[in-house]
Amino acid sequence: MEKTCIIWIDLQLEFLTRDGFMGEKHIDGEPLIEKVRHLTNLARQFHFPIVWVKACYNHQVKPEPKKNLNINIPKTIAHVPLISDFHASTHFNGPKSRQCCVRGSKLIEFHPSIQEIIEPNDIVITKNWYSAFTETGLAKKLNKKGIKRLYIGGVSTHVCVQATCIDAFFLGYKVNIFSDATNSSKKESYEKGLTEMSKYYAKILTTEEAIEEWKNVKYGSGDCRLLHDIFEPKLINFEEIKKEISWNEMFHRGGPVPRLVSLQGDLIKNQDDEEVYQFPIYRHPVDEHPILTYWTPIVQLIRDHIQTIVGHTLNHCLIQYYRNGGDHISDHSDKTLDIVPGSFIVNFSIGCTRELMLKSKIAVDGKKEKQHVYMYHNSMFLMGLKTNAEFYHCIQEDNRDNRLKTLDEVSFNGERISFTFRWIGTWIKTVGQDQFIYGQGAKAKTSDQAEPLLYDKSEYSNLIFAFGNENTLSSFNWDEYYGKGFDVIGGKRLSH
């Protein structure tokens, strides 16, 4: 699913209480607010941004919505009516005593049951026209976050919700309307609004249907999750993080890979002997493993927070710096020799948006499945080991002209940093100049039984053979290829 946002329209005292301009005909707020609170709570679990829109009208000056929308209508939808300024006098007629959403009035405030669930990181905007996109800067805020899909609710269905829906459609968003989390003062107005929106502009669905959509987005083999806005924006300073990390080249098959890398992880020192320390080892086909260093401060903060979301240990991180669209990583499956079973492979991304592609290893009806996962700034993809076995994943080159890219794709000067966190069950134990190996992927399973780390070319070729089979087989048998354990590594002596 594309990056998604929830927009709530005009949940104010003006519309939801008898003190408002509708008087006794006000919209019944109680059932609506109950739906809004329930959906908002669930949306936060999916890390969807929440937008709260408040109406405050200047009854002396009316905006010109068509001019302010500033859109280019594609030929494919040129036949669709542009009517965001319909009902152009709904709230502007009548005596002063019945004017709607007057600046300075207490009635323009959100309903107390709404106000109490608005959080500091939510987007709150004030509009002076029916559409939430007229003279508010909302589209700019959404585009900056890379939002592509909207779910809209609130009041009134046939006026401000509909106006916002229509503008969102012409701005290129995929629009969804909560049928049971929007309302009007009259049933016929509510039904007419839904009917009009459903003709061209939006998909109409119930809250339960929307929740099912959110829960049933399937990535890979169904054991993956894509989460957004993992940290408060002020905590993720791209340039500061880039500067904190020491970058190195990594070589494979005699040449440098097209990106820079850094390796960080747990480093356990013996309190009684400084020459004894241990660190996790993730083995994969590479000419020489990068030097593992202990967590730098910001990366440790990132790891600690993500660990709480994932629910298991993350003791190892391969950090990769994609300097431009030409930097990439080819199709592969992660090697699970050293990865703890049942854990996630976690990719946290900052910087410009890049597409993570999943490709099935087995063709169905002659076709291999391809899935596109858009890694936005401050997003995280949790990949289960079943998906890792049945799908390749890659970041393809993106050498399109910047004029053909979206704003989020050219943000951060086209640079991206990815953090691949893993829970590793194999350890290197260093005693002075000697190195030993133990744990999940080694022959010895405990520290006190650790065996010397080997650099035997013949044994390493056996490991590369096993890696090759894991990379191609969707039904890879771990015990058959890895069960006996490997005490070997390619390249030279490991450092920390």
pLDDT tens sequence across 229-248: 899 888 899 999 999 999 99
The residue that leads in pLDDT, 48 or 343, is 343
Give the pLDDT confidence score for residue 364 in this predicted structure.
82
Whether this prediction's pTM lies above 0.75 is answered by no
pLDDT band at 86 (very low <50, low <70, confident <90, very high): very low
pLDDT tens sequence across 53-70: 999 987 555 555 544 455
Q: Which of 4-8, 142-146, 178-182, 470-474 has the lowest mean pLDDT?
A: 142-146
pLDDT band at 301 (very low <50, low <70, confident <90, very high): very high
Give the pLDDT confidence score for residue 28 in this predicted structure.
75
The residue that leads in pLDDT, 276 or 296, is 296
Give the pLDDT confidence score for residue 492 in this predicted structure.
59
Taking residues 404-413, report their average pLDDT: 85
Give the pLDDT confidence score for residue 405 in this predicted structure.
80
Taking residues 463-485, report their average pLDDT: 95
Indicate whether 78 pLDDT > 70: no
Q: Which of 61-65, 162-166, 211-215, 321-325 has the lowest mean pLDDT?
A: 61-65
pLDDT band at 259 (very low <50, low <70, confident <90, very high): very high
Indicate whether 82 pLDDT > 60: no
Give the pLDDT confidence score for residue 95 in this predicted structure.
47
Taking residues 187-213, report their average pLDDT: 93
pLDDT tens sequence across 9-48: 999 999 888 887 766 666 777 889 999 999 998 888 787 8
pLDDT tens sequence across 92-102: 554 444 578 88
pLDDT band at 85 (very low <50, low <70, confident <90, very high): very low
HEC states along the chain? CCCEEEEEECCEHHHHCCCCCCHHHCCCHHHHHHHHHHHHHHHHHCCCCEEEEEECECCCCCCCHHHHHCCCCCHHHCCCCCCCCCCCCCCCCCCHHHCCCECCCHHHCECHHHHCCCCCCCEEEEECCCCCCCCCCHHHHHHHCCCCEEEEEEECHHHHHHHHHHHHHHCCCEEEEEEEEEECCCHHHHHHHHHHHHHHCCEEECHHHHHHHHHCCCCCCCCCEEECCCCCHHHCCHHHHHHHCCCECCEECCEECCCEEEEEECCEEECCEEEEEEEECCCCCCCCCCCEEECCHHHHHHHHHHHHHHCCCCCEEEEEEECCCCCCEEEECCCCCCECCCCCEEEEEEECCEEEEEEECCCECCECCEEEEEECCCEEEEECHHHHHHEEEEECCCCCCHHHCCHHHHHHHHCEEEEEEECECEEEEEECCEEEEEECCCCCCCHHHCEECECCHHHHHHHHHHHHHHHHCCCCCHHHHHCCCCCECCCCCCCC
pLDDT tens sequence across 376-395: 899 999 999 999 999 999 99
Give the pLDDT confidence score for residue 60 in this predicted structure.
58
Indicate whether 495 pLDDT > 70: no
pLDDT tens sequence across 107-161: 899 999 999 999 988 999 999 989 999 999 999 999 888 899 999 999 999 999 9
